[in-house]
Amino acid sequence: MTMNNSRPLGILNLERGPAPSAPRLGSILHPSTFAFPIIAETVEGAWADVAMRGDPAIRPATIAATQRLVQRGAVAISSNCASFIHHQDAAAASVNVPVATSILLLVPALLGQLPPTSKLAILSADSRNSSERVHRIVESRHRSRLVIGGIEGGKLHQNEMKRPPVYTETADIEADVTDCVSRLLADNPDIAAIVFECTAFPPVSPSIRRMTNLPVYDIAGFCRMMMESVAHARRYPSTKVA
């Protein structure tokens, strides 16, 4: 259900090819996920492998897509790939609306909410790329409290590396995520909360919360928090003036 008279959330999207699959139920691109409208713009050249390695070549296209979203009426911007955090500063500087390209922006605040002896798990599609992104956000003195895991080698990761990407069933994502979370908890019983960095994970957040009895934070929840603050705003200029 959509909130009456609300302005949309803008979402930066990866390249998906000429015939992209329908959005997954529970994803931030599915029209039933939020009580507010969404609009999306594809970042030209941002295939998953390109975005995940933080290629600076797609920064101009990221800025351009961010500005197009605001010109279309978006009052806040997020993204459908956490790797756009490599371009967070540039995107945020290009418009006058809140921009949150990744839930990793919340990690310092989440660490402050937890007991100092506890750990925070961060789960991604490919943990080999996550450490660099996390270290951009978290001070070195807090990094020992982070446990980073990923589902590299799983069906989602394999499918997303293809051009165009292949649709992954939610059940397959849940199986890979469940296995990874189980391993992390077995090795780190002091984990007190979990962050799903990958934007494909929100559909399985409820099942992981039930399984672990722990808080699970994902991009969908972050988007709701942003939009609850700005959904009725009306006075943002479309872009910043150079």
The pLDDT > 90 percentage for the chain reads: 78
pLDDT in tens, 152-170: 989 999 999 998 999 999 9
Question: What pLDDT sits at residue 73?
Answer: 95
Instruction: Classify domain 103-218 at the CATH topology level.
Output: Rossmann fold (3.40.50)
Token pair 């799983």 is found at 154
Averaged pLDDT for residues 109-129: 93
pTM metric for this prediction: 0.90
Q: Is the pLDDT of residue 223 over 80?
A: yes
| Residues 77 and 194: beta-carbon distance below 8 Å | no
The CA radius of gyration of the chain, in Å to the nearest whole number, is 17
Tokens (6 digits) for 223: 């988007």
Q: Is the pLDDT of residue 98 over 60?
A: yes
User: Looking at domain 9-102+222-230, which CATH architecture does it have?
Assistant: 3-Layer(aba) Sandwich (3.40)
pLDDT in tens, 9-61: 999 999 998 878 889 999 999 999 999 999 999 999 999 999 998 999 999 99
**Residue 236 and residue 213: Cα distance in Å, rounded?**
40
| Residues 68 and 41: beta-carbon distance below 8 Å | yes
State the pLDDT confidence band at 130, using cuts at 50, 70 and 90.
confident
Q: 9-102+222-230 and 103-218 share one CATH topology? A: yes
Q: Nearest-CA neighbor of 52 among 24, 29, 80?
A: 80
State the pLDDT confidence band at 237, using cuts at 50, 70 and 90.
very low
Domain positions in the chain:
9-102+222-230, 103-218
Mean pLDDT of the chain: 90
State the pLDDT confidence band at 241, using cuts at 50, 70 and 90.
very low
